[in-house]
Structure formats: C-alpha cells, structure tokens
C-alpha cells in the first residue's frame, strides 16, 4: 500500500480531518459523509479537485472501499460506527470520547481483537509538544517522585440544540426565535466528566500509568443553556503506581476556553496553561525562593504549523495514524490505551450519581499493563529552549 485511502464520517469536527489528511502525502481522501447538506457543501469546497466524493450516508462511504475510516460522528454513535468500519475491513481513527458506556468499550475491544484492524483513539491533546519535555524531565528525575497531577478542561458550550439543517443554537436563541423543531445535541446531556480524555490521556502518558479507582462529585445544574447536564464535575483518581490525579471538566462556565495541566513532585513541579502558551518549572536544582522558571514550549514545536487544528496537534494525529497503518505497527494510542482514557470518566460519573462513593475502574486488558508505548512513536526531545526567570505580568 503506497497511500492510505481515507474516508471521513461526520463533517463538523471531521472537516479538520479532511484538511489534514489532504495535506499528508501518504494519504488520499477518497470520500466523506454527512447527512447535513451544508456540511457536505463545505467539504466539497475544501476537497476541490482532489477526486474525493462527498455522500450523505455512511453506507455510501463504506461502499467506496476505503482503507481507513475517520469516525467523527457524535460521541454516542462512535462505537457503532467504528465497529461497522472494522467489520467492513477498514482501519479506524476515532474521535473522542470514543464511547459512551462501559459495555460499548467492551464491544469495541472485542471488535478490534476479532477483526485485527488497527484502531486509534483520536486524543489530539496527547500530542501537545510540552508533554514530551515533561516526560523527559520525569525520566531525568528533575522533580523527584510525582505524587499528584492535575488537569482542567474549561470549555463553554452553550449551543446545545440542533436545527433540521444541522446548525446549532442555544436554548435561549431557539426560544427567542420561536423554534419548535430543535433537538438536543449529543453533548447536551453528556456528563462533563465523561469528556475527560483531553486531560487524563496526556497525564497517563507523561506518568506512564493507569487509573484503578475514582471518586467524583457533580456541581449544581444552574446553566440555563445546558439544563440537561451538571455545570461541572471533579474527579479524584487513584493510579496503579499510587499517584492521585484530579480532573475538573466544566462545559457550562462562561469563560475563555483553555486546558490546564500540573505536576506535583516531592522535589519540584511543572505547569502549563494553554492561554499562556509556555511552561513554568521548578526542578530539584532550583531553590524555591528563586521562583518559577519559564520555558517557551507550547502546543507545537517552534518550526511546526499550528494552523492545522488545536495548535497543530490534529495534523500530528493524522500523521501518526497514517504511518502506523502503512508500516503495519500498533497505533500510538491503541484500543486498550483508549479504553484507559475513556473508562475512568464513565466510572467517575457513576460515582457522582452515587454521591461520590469510591469505585474501582475495571481493567479491560487481556494482559496486564506493563508500560506505555506512546513515546516510542512520538519521541522525546534531545534539547530544550533556554529557561528564564518567570516574571509576573
């Protein structure tokens, strides 16, 4: 196989995937599908004269016999669509969360094992560039033992109803327009903590760990634009190596969107907030009274294009998936690792529904977890930008 023939399902989020796979020389976008005409029109304009065909139905896309399908449909249908693709002989790159229930994750695992197709969880946040440095610093013992890690996903998403043409409105906008033809989107009633993979996935790779138990609590339900979901949830996860990971997800808080990540070691710490775009570090060779160092590492390396979606991480995702399939090797985030990103959020919401009781997180691997293979593919940096004293704005 000289080129990977790719089909893309779902042309809201999937439009970025169209753009990125068109940019990869080793891939060819042969088709895309979406039921909404406006989404298809945008894809047709983007694909231009590439030769790819845009169709309304998934079956039409599968009939083109692609080598791989990018599943960018809604989160409550991703397992169904992924399994359908693999049964049709296609490799799969799936958007996150990847599944809505534990039973779906078991079905997904079994389909991968039965068909032998490559499956990759499309967690783009794992490709944020600063994470490579964090992993390097941990291996160099720059922070001493890590005891605690934190991450936050802050993303205000009030447009929770969908019109027949696929456009979205807030409930207030729909009411003001007198619309009676709206339906809630799939994220309208999704428990926020079940969208934790952007936070948990990167930390699990940096720490080379997996979660074994969780307790979680829900905030009140006060946002009038998203009345079907809690305003946010906070989970406290315990890992196999004995670390604590705290994750907060809010989709109802009106504020600029951002990611926040923190590491707490006994000899030092590091943190990265996306709105700043640089890393703060205090390692074991720096006195506490000296304060933070600033290291200018962000979502992408300095020589990388950040215009390809989510700070350049979407293009990395597409490249690594393409290379894994063409080279016949496991994806950097395979189905088992994808399960370890998604299942803790599902169990966390169950804990919240029970008032925060601690719950065990089942291990759905066939063989015990022995360590991440993510960095074997992604690689660690040989050098790093110079550190300078952090100056408060």
Q: What is the DSSP string of 276-306?
A: T-SEEEE-TTS-GGG--EEE---SS-TTS--
pLDDT of res. 244: 98
Q: Where are the domains of the chain?
A: 4-117, 129-304+335-389
Nearest to 70 by CA among 126, 106, 135, 124: 124
Q: Residue range 323-327: average pLDDT?
A: 97
Residue 26 has pLDDT above 70, yes or no: yes
Task: Provide the token pair at 185.
Answer: 């989107």
393 pLDDT above the threshold of 80: no
Reported confidence tier of residue 110, pLDDT bands at 50, 70, 90: very high
- In 3D, which of 168, 165, 169, 170 has the Cα closest to residue 223? 170
Average pLDDT along the chain: 95
62/289 Cα distance (integer angstroms): 61
Cis, bond preceding 97 (omega within 30 deg of 0): yes
Region for 324 from its dihedrals, namely left if φ exceeds 0, alpha if ψ lies in -120 to 50, beta otherwise? alpha
Integer-rounded Cα Rg, in Å, for the chain is 21
Report the C-alpha gap between 11 and 377 in whole angstroms. 28
3.40.50.300, 3.20.20.150, 1.10.540.10, 3.30.360.10: CATH of 129-304+335-389? 3.30.360.10
This prediction's pTM: 0.95
Superfamily of domain 4-117: NAD(P)-binding Rossmann-like Domain (3.40.50.720)
CA distance 15 to 45: 11
pLDDT at 310: 63
Strand locations in 72-145 (E): 91-94, 119-121
Give the pLDDT band (50/70/90) at residue 312. Answer: confident
Read off the pLDDT band of 311 (50, 70, 90). confident
Confidence check: pLDDT of 304 > 70: no
pLDDT per residue over 125-165, tens digit each? Answer: 999 999 999 999 999 999 999 999 999 999 999 999 999 99
Give the rounded percent of residues in the chain with a pLDDT score beyond 70. 97
Residue 391 pLDDT: 87
Q: CA–CA separation, 13 vs 35, rounded Å? A: 14
């Amino acid at each position: 196989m000289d080129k990977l023939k790719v089909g893309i399902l779902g042309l809201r989020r999937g439009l970025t995937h169209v753009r990125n796979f068109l940019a990869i020389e080793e891939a060819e976008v042969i088709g895309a599908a979406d039921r909404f005409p406006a989404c298809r029109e945008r894809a047709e304009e983007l694909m231009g004269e590439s030769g790819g065909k845009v169709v309304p139905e998934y079956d039409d896309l599968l009939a083109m016999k692609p080598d791989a399908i990018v599943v960018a449909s809604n989160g409550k249908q991703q397992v169904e669509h992924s399994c359908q693709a693999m049964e049709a002989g296609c490799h799969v790159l799936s958007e996150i969360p990847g599944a809505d229930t534990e039973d779906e994750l078991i079905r997904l695992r079994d389909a991968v094992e039965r068909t032998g197709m490559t499956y990759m969880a499309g967690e783009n946040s794992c490709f944020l560039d600063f994470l490579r440095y964090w992993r390097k610093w941990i291996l160099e013992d720059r922070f001493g033992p890590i005891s605690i890690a934190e991450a936050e996903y802050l993303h205000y998403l009030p447009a929770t109803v969908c019109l027949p043409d696929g456009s979205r409105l807030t409930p207030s906008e729909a009411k003001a327009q007198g619309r009676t033809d709206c339906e809630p989107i799939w994220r309208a009633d999704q428990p926020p903590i079940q969208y934790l993979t952007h936070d948990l996935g990167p930390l699990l790779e940096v720490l080379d760990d997996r979660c074994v138990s969780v307790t979680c609590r829900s905030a009140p339900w006060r946002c009038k634009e998203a009345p079907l979901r809690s305003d946010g949830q906070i989970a406290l996860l315990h890992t196999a190596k004995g670390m604590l990971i705290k994750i907060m997800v809010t989709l109802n808080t009106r504020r600029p969107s951002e990611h926040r990540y923190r590491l707490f070691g006994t000899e030092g710490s590091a943190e990265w907030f996306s709105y700043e775009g640089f890393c703060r570090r205090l390692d074991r060779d720096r006195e506490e009274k000296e304060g933070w160092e600033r290291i200018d590492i962000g979502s992408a390396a300095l020589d990388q294009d950040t215009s390809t979606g989510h700070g350049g991480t979407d293009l990395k995702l597409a490249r690594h998936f393409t290379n894994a399939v063409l080279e016949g090797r496991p994806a950097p985030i395979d189905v088992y690792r994808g399960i370890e990103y998604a299942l803790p959020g599902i169990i966390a919401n169950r804990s919240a529904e029970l008032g925060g009781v601690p719950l065990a997180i089942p291990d759905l691997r066939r063989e015990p977890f022995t360590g991440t293979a993510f960095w074997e593919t992604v690689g660690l940096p040989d050098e790093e930008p110079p550190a300078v004293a952090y100056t408060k704005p």
